[in-house]
Amino acid sequence: MFFQCAIIQYLNFKKMDLGVALVGALVIVACILPFIIMYKTKKYKEEQLLEELKNTASEKGFLLTNYEVSGDLAIGIDKTSNVFCFCKNVRDNKSQEFIRLNEVKKCSLINLKNSTGSQSIIDKLALSFEFKTKTNPSISVVFYDSEQQLQLSKELQLIEKWYSIINQKIKA
């Protein structure tokens, strides 16, 4: 009789362990799954944006030899045609620019900040292109705008990198 009670208690304990383990596993999956879905969705959107930029560049006769995607913007350059390509999609508001760098006189980095006390917050990051001919108006390519995007991610590093690449191409 004693052994039967001990065996029954042992089996009930094992059932409880299995139940607790299953509930714990389900809670962990429920916590991790939203992050996985967000990551996959972000990567899919980035791939779609890059594909759109490549297709549009190809239609215009350009081949992107160097390109990069970050969040809602895709940028690239055709080194043989010396063309800078830019595509941005914020809240279904798409903008594309294809700029022939041999027609550009000057490229400037615009970093608008809002200073409050000892802190400064970046409001806007853009590249401004001034052309050699006066008939072409200046073009600003916005990488980040605090009114359209909640937070700054890699845009600062990205704009500095591409500012350097573009100025090397303009001087060449």
> Is 32 domain-assigned?
no
- Give the structural domain span for 111: 38-171
Report residue 171's pLDDT band, with 50, 70 and 90 as the boundaries.
confident
Number of domains in the chain: 1
Choose the weakest-confidence range: 10-14, 144-148, 160-164: 10-14
> Is 164 domain-assigned?
yes
Q: Regarding predicted confidence, which is higher, 2 or 157?
A: 157
With 70 as the cut, is the pLDDT of residue 3 above it?
no
> Is 142 domain-assigned?
yes
From start to end of 31-72, where are the E strands?
A: 66-70
Neighbours of 16 (CB within 10 A): 10
Q: Regarding predicted confidence, which is higher, 151 or 169?
A: 169
> Is 159 domain-assigned?
yes
Q: What is the pLDDT of residues 69-124, one digit of tens each?
A: 988 889 999 988 899 998 888 777 788 889 998 888 999 998 888 877 788 888 88
> Is 25 domain-assigned?
no
> Is 15 domain-assigned?
no
Q: Regarding predicted confidence, which is higher, 152 or 82?
A: 82
Question: The pTM is what?
Answer: 0.75
Q: Are the C-beta atoms of 62 and 81 separated by less than 8 Å?
A: yes
With 90 as the cut, is the pLDDT of residue 35 above it?
yes
Best CA proximity match to 126, nearest among 113, 108, 114, 138? 108
Best CA proximity match to 108, nearest among 166, 69, 155? 166
> Is 167 domain-assigned?
yes
Radius of gyration of the chain, Cα coordinates, nearest whole angstrom: 27
* CATH number where 140 lies: 2.30.29
> Is 110 domain-assigned?
yes
